[in-house]
A and B are shown apart, each in its own frame.
Chain A
Amino acid sequence: MTRWTNPEWLERLRGEGPAADEAARELRRILRGSLKKSIGFRPGVDDERIDDFVQDACLQIMTSLERFRGDSQFTTWAIAIAIRVSFSEMRRARWRDVSLDHLTESAGTDTLADSAAESPENAPISAEDSETRRVILSELQDVIARELTDRQRFLISGELSGVPQAELCARLGINRNALHKLGHDARQKLKKRLIERGISVEEIRGAFSLADGS
């Protein structure tokens, strides 16, 4: 699949004239073929849409050449960017007109009781695990209510509702790195509280019927 070595790709794409044009055409051909094979079967993805993805991906690739580390095939790196661009656009298209107001609604007073009474994944758990889950839910709700910011609450709720990161970034007006940091800080606070309460990993797994690898 790779027609040129990595340095040849970079030299051609950074250059001008027929060699650069040929490399750009070859890159578009490779990206088009790869996207057709990897996402072309998805609903709403036709040749025209793939051409749009390829065009947007090429723009991003050309402005990101210095980020290529050289430890893989250049084309693999370029396909990875094309896939990121494609998925981001597909995810955003699905959620663009969906209201996310419910993510900022405050919890009802019965949320904790309902949550503690239900059995996740319909798995039977012991009375001890059920009590542990009640404690965990109480602690998590307390941290969420008292220690997280509005933006962190919106992010956590959005992620758990399946809202794509690109859409959350757009609604919060931040980039994906900043979104990750926002979420990571929130997760660290939540995890810290559970550790401070002396709740072990095994107890969390038991309370939510999680597999050992979780």
Chain B
Amino acid sequence: MKLSTHQYRTLAEVLLKTKPDEITCDEWLDQVAVFAEQIAASRPIPAELQPLVDHVNICPECAEELDALVAALHATE
């Protein structure tokens, strides 16, 4: 397994964000609707949704999907 310096840098960045208790992508999907509604309405994110914030910090795919969901909500306002 050969990694570039850039990849090691990304790995180090992800390790800093790694926590013992993380939600999975499916658990994130179960809860993302209310999270996206908060963001689309520019409302503060409640503490109970912090695990979703943590998840998008380490999961670029869910982050990309969140952006698309918020865009869809903005478009229907």
- Is the CB–CB distance between B10 and A165 below 8 Å? no
Give the distance in Å from the alpha carbon of A102 to the alpha carbon of B76 in the complex: 44
Q: Give every chain B residue within 8 A of A102 (Cβ-Cβ).
A: 2
Of B8, B12, B33, B64, the residue contacting A80 (CB under 8 A) is B33
Of A33, A105, A184, the residue contacting B1 (CB under 8 A) is A105
Of B7, B31, B68, the residue contacting A38 (CB under 8 A) is B68
Q: Give every chain B residue within 8 A of A209 (Cβ-Cβ).
A: 9
Give the secondary structure class of A's interface.
Answer: helix
Task: List which B24-71 residues lie within 8 A (CB) of chain A.
Answer: 24-26, 29-34, 36-37, 61, 64-65, 68-69, 71
Contact A76 B14, CB 8 Å, known A38-B69, A165-B25? no
Contact A107 B2, CB 8 Å, known A37-B75, A38-B68, A201-B16? yes
Interface size on B, residues (CB 8 A): 41
- Is the CB–CB distance between A76 and B73 below 8 Å? yes
Instruction: Tell me the minimal C-beta distance from B14 to chain A in angstroms.
Output: 7
> Is A197 close to B, CB under 8 A?
no
> Is A12 close to B, CB under 8 A?
no
Q: Give every chain A residue within 8 A of B13 (Cβ-Cβ).
A: 208, 210, 214
> Is A153 close to B, CB under 8 A?
yes
Give the distance in Å from the alpha carbon of A120 to the alpha carbon of B24 in the complex: 30
Chain B contacts to A: CB under 8 angstroms: 1-18, 20, 22, 24-26, 29-34, 36-37, 61, 64-65, 68-69, 71-73, 75-76
Instruction: Tell me the minimal C-beta distance from B3 to chain A in angstroms.
Output: 6
Chain A contacts to B: CB under 8 angstroms: 1, 33-35, 37-39, 67, 69, 71-73, 76-77, 79-81, 83-84, 87, 91, 102-108, 111, 114-115, 118-121, 136-137, 140, 144, 153, 156-157, 160-161, 164-165, 176-177, 180-181, 184, 187-188, 190-191, 194, 201, 204-205, 207-210, 214
Instruction: Tell me the minimal C-beta distance from B18 to chain A in angstroms.
Output: 4
Give the distance in Å from the alpha carbon of A68 to the alpha carbon of B8 in the complex: 38
- Is the CB–CB distance between B1 and A107 below 8 Å? yes
Q: Give every chain B residue within 8 A of A201 (Cβ-Cβ).
A: 16
- Is the CB–CB distance between B24 and A187 below 8 Å? no
When C-beta atoms are compared, the residue in chain B nearest to A152 turns out to be B1
